[in-house]
Amino acid sequence: MKQLQRTIYLMSLCLLGALGVFAQSVPQNAQDVKNIVNDRKLKISGGVNASQVFYGVSGIESRRNPYAYFVSGNINFSMFQLNVPLNFTFTNQVFNYNYQLPSFDFNQFGIQPSWKWIKLYAGYNTMSFSPYTLNGALFLGGGVELTPPGPLKVEAMYGRLRKAQPYNPSDSSSQQAPFGYERRGYGAKLTYSFKDSGRKKKKRSQISSKYNRDGGLRPPKKDEEYTTSSFFKEGDQVSLIVFGAHDLANSVVPPPDSLNLPNTQPESNLVMSVQLHKSLGKRITLDGEIAGSAVNQDTRITTSDGETQNVFNLTDGVFKRNTSTAYYSAYRGNLNYNADFFIIGVGYEWVDPEYRTLGAYYFNNDLENITVNFSTQLFKNKLSLATNVGTQRNNLNNNQLATLRRLSTAVNVNFMPNQAMNFNLTYSNFQSLTRIRSQFELINQVDPLANIGDSLNLTQISQNANLNANFVLLNTQRQQQNLNVNVAYQQADNRQQGSPIPGGSRFYQVTTAYNVVWTPIDFNAALAFNYNQNTVENLDNRMLGPTLTLTKGLFKKKVSLILSSSFNQAYNNTVLASQVLNGRLGINYTYQQKHQLSFNAIYLNQRTLATEGQTPQPAFSEFTGTLNYSYNF
């Protein structure tokens, strides 16, 4: 055992020493050196979690594997004020989204060592620079964050964004992962935070005679001090971002061109962005970003793009543009005024159609957003009010058959008259107008003002309201009683040329929950009732039922038992359609606050009844058991 501990210690010491080569900085004084030397004891902390899932079903086909396990953990090594955290996950479960994201590996290993103001990334990690550049893309490689004392902050990364996925001609299944080249990416973000830019300088007195008119000596003049002014003030920030990615054309054999598969050309991308945070006086703040993205849609093309003149001309030495290069831009800005008792602001965002970056999985584009927001607190913060009004439109280039204009309004009110009552009300209204032009109009139109009356205008209106109320009925040392009521309403309507058309819907939801806690015996009982109703034209669907939950603590709260059961019934136009019985059992055991062992079992039975015009589905039962162990150290 001692030999094993020595081996682990030496391995950890070697790892820390190797990482320290990259993560060291020069101590500022003797006290820093003393603190580093004193921190020579290896400290290990973290946690490990292991789960086993058992599944069984009768009456229908199995919907998941009968057995699966998940292992995850995070371990942190600390010595000489150097932190080395490690994260890992491992499972035998196969997820369907692996087919849509061939570059995604659930079994991952990542490490983020840090020392003072230096942080490193190694293995599988994610970093985000901004919404328009690198935004949460998983990469396998390395990164660094440097936040030294002073105004400059540096972030950088390099790694594999996507692994190669070859095309398998012998696999005709729909679950074959899409073809893809191996993709590498790099990026850097430099942030400069301005300190007090006012500098005190001495203004020397002007040269004059040392005698006055009477012939006496003049008293010596002292140098005057004055403060210089600057555009940037304390707290202002400017960030410069560069992100690039490219596909390795030789990483995989592409599929034949005769198959006409999409996205089979190797691509490359370069994005540049500038961010600004600026204070205008004491109450006004400005936040904004301007980004430009250039995408080579086929890097195999050798003909350079020498005609387009834009900011990417400055990057021709590192990013080779060709005739397939597409250019996009995006920018946003927010201006806020902070008064003594309210905040008001306006925002604007523009994203070019088809704007994309290889540093994000999904991106909303072809939109223009204009928003106005207002918030305040009244009556000694008992009443809070927040509103947001905005408009959005697409088809910015006016080259699509449909144009969508959307108006949104959101209001949030929170009222807490005393400690025993709390009310929260939210309301939102989304109105969208879609203008559809026929294809013949798009092709044959010469006058942009002609044939406007021939367009089809479709208006969609969606309203949402939610009221949540909490009441403390009793609060003593022996017993607590609480009541919660939640009411939700949603309405959706369609209008064409101002007249309503079929297809509108109404949704109602009412949830009540009564909770009682007996503190001396550590027992909790909660009774809830749920009611949902969805009405669409002549179809009325309702589901309702109660839920009872009992919780009991044992052995000085080391063991907790949870028993829950619910019974729901579904109706179609007042006719009983199905019944669902759900039961849950949970046992949790905690030992020395480090070991936690739990078992959770879920039983579900669903029975579908015969209704007019529909074939009844067979009844089925499902059982899911989860055994989980976690250890924190």
In-domain check, residue 152: yes
In 479-538, DSSP assigns E strands to 479-496, 499-518, 523-536
In-domain check, residue 514: no
Q: What is the pLDDT of residues 313-337, one digit of tens each?
A: 888 888 999 999 999 999 999 999 9
Per-residue exposure over 183-212, b if at least 16 CB sit within 10 Å of its own CB, e if not: bbbbbbbebebbeeeeeeeeeeeeeeeeee
Q: Which pLDDT value is given to residue 291?
A: 96
Of the chain, the end-to-end C-alpha distance in Å amounts to: 19
Q: What is the pLDDT of residues 526-541, one digit of tens each?
A: 999 999 999 887 788 8
Does the structure show a pLDDT above 50 at 108? yes
Question: CB atoms < 10 A from the CB of 521, how many?
Answer: 10
Report the run of H or E that residue 3 belongs to, with start and end. Answer: helix 2-23
In-domain check, residue 393: no
* CB-neighbour burial class of residue 381 (10 A; exposed 0-12, middle 13-18, buried 19+): exposed
Q: How far is CA 562 from CA 490, 525, 630, in A?
A: 34, 10, 19
Cα–Cα distance measured from residue 474 to residue 513, given in angstroms and rounded to the nearest whole number: 15
Q: Which pLDDT value is given to residue 459?
A: 63
Confidence tier at 341 by pLDDT (50, 70, 90): confident
Mean pLDDT of the chain: 81
Q: Which pLDDT value is given to residue 616?
A: 66
Q: Which pLDDT value is given to residue 51?
A: 92
Confidence tier at 299 by pLDDT (50, 70, 90): very high
Q: Which pLDDT value is given to residue 498?
A: 56
Q: Indicate the length of the chain as a whole number.
A: 633
In-domain check, residue 594: no
Cα–Cα distance measured from residue 34 to residue 20, given in angstroms and rounded to the nearest whole number: 17
Tell the residue number behind the tokens 């371990």, with chain if given.
Answer: 75
Residues 6+ apart with CB under 8 A from 536: 503, 504, 505, 506
Structural domain containing residue 114: 95-168+178-197+225-253+263-334
Confidence tier at 608 by pLDDT (50, 70, 90): confident
Q: How far is CA 417 from CA 33, 468, 481, in A?
A: 56, 14, 19
Of residues 498 and 462, which shows the higher confidence score?
Answer: 462
Does the structure show a pLDDT above 80 at 421? yes
Of residues 458 and 139, which shows the higher confidence score?
Answer: 139
Q: Which pLDDT value is given to residue 38?
A: 73
Cα–Cα distance measured from residue 127 to residue 557, given in angstroms and rounded to the nearest whole number: 40
Q: Name 539's bridge partners.
A: 536
Of residues 460 and 247, which shows the higher confidence score?
Answer: 247
Cα–Cα distance measured from residue 545 to residue 550, given in angstroms and rounded to the nearest whole number: 17
Tokens of 114: 């840090």
Of residues 5 and 497, which shows the higher confidence score?
Answer: 497
Confidence tier at 135 by pLDDT (50, 70, 90): very high
Of residues 544 and 170, which shows the higher confidence score?
Answer: 544
Question: CB atoms < 10 A from the CB of 292, how many?
Answer: 20
Residues 6+ apart with CB under 8 A from 451: 437, 441, 445
- For CA atoms 133, 139, 141, 146, the dihedral sign is positive
Q: Which pLDDT value is given to residue 463?
A: 87
Cα–Cα distance measured from residue 272 to residue 243, given in angstroms and rounded to the nearest whole number: 7
* Average pLDDT rounded to a whole number, residues 372-391: 92
**Secondary structure of the chain: what % helix, strand, coil (to 5)?**
10, 60, 35
Residues 6+ apart with CB under 8 A from 269: 243, 244, 245, 246, 293, 294, 295, 296, 357, 358, 359
Of residues 378 and 64, which shows the higher confidence score?
Answer: 378
Task: Tell me which long-range contacts 470-477 makes (C-beta under 8 A, separation of at least 24).
Answer: 470/421, 470/422, 471/420, 471/421, 472/419, 472/420, 472/421, 475/420, 477/519
Of residues 460 and 347, which shows the higher confidence score?
Answer: 347
Of residues 553 and 226, which shows the higher confidence score?
Answer: 553
Which of 72-81, 232-241, 438-447 ranks highest by mean pLDDT? 232-241
Q: Which pLDDT value is given to residue 12?
A: 43
Which of 196-210, 237-251, 455-469, 490-504 ranks highest by mean pLDDT? 237-251
Cα–Cα distance measured from residue 303 to residue 322, given in angstroms and rounded to the nearest whole number: 5
Q: Which pLDDT value is given to residue 442?
A: 41
Q: Which pLDDT value is given to residue 106?
A: 54
Residue 20, SS3? helix
In-domain check, residue 102: yes
In SS3 terms, 43-69 reads as EEEEEEEEEEEEEEEECCCCCCCCEEE
Which of 143-152, 169-178, 252-261, 443-452 ranks highest by mean pLDDT? 143-152
Q: Which pLDDT value is given to residue 533?
A: 92
In-domain check, residue 494: no
Q: How far is CA 138 from CA 135, 143, 187, 344, in A?
A: 9, 12, 13, 37
Which of 7-21, 210-224, 391-405, 431-445 ranks highest by mean pLDDT? 391-405
Q: Which pLDDT value is given to residue 172?
A: 60
Instruction: State the DSSP code for 12.
Output: H
In-domain check, residue 69: no
* Average pLDDT rounded to a whole number, residues 72-76: 83
Q: Which pLDDT value is given to residue 605?
A: 92
Does the structure show a pLDDT above 90 at 486? yes
Question: How many separate helices (H) and strands (E) can be counted in the chain?
Answer: 4, 29
Does the structure show a pLDDT above 60 at 46? yes
Tokens of 406: 């959307």
Domain count within the chain: 1
Of residues 105 and 475, which shows the higher confidence score?
Answer: 475
Q: What percent of the chain has pLDDT over 70?
A: 76
Of residues 492 and 543, which shows the higher confidence score?
Answer: 543
In-domain check, residue 311: yes
Of residues 233 and 216, which shows the higher confidence score?
Answer: 233
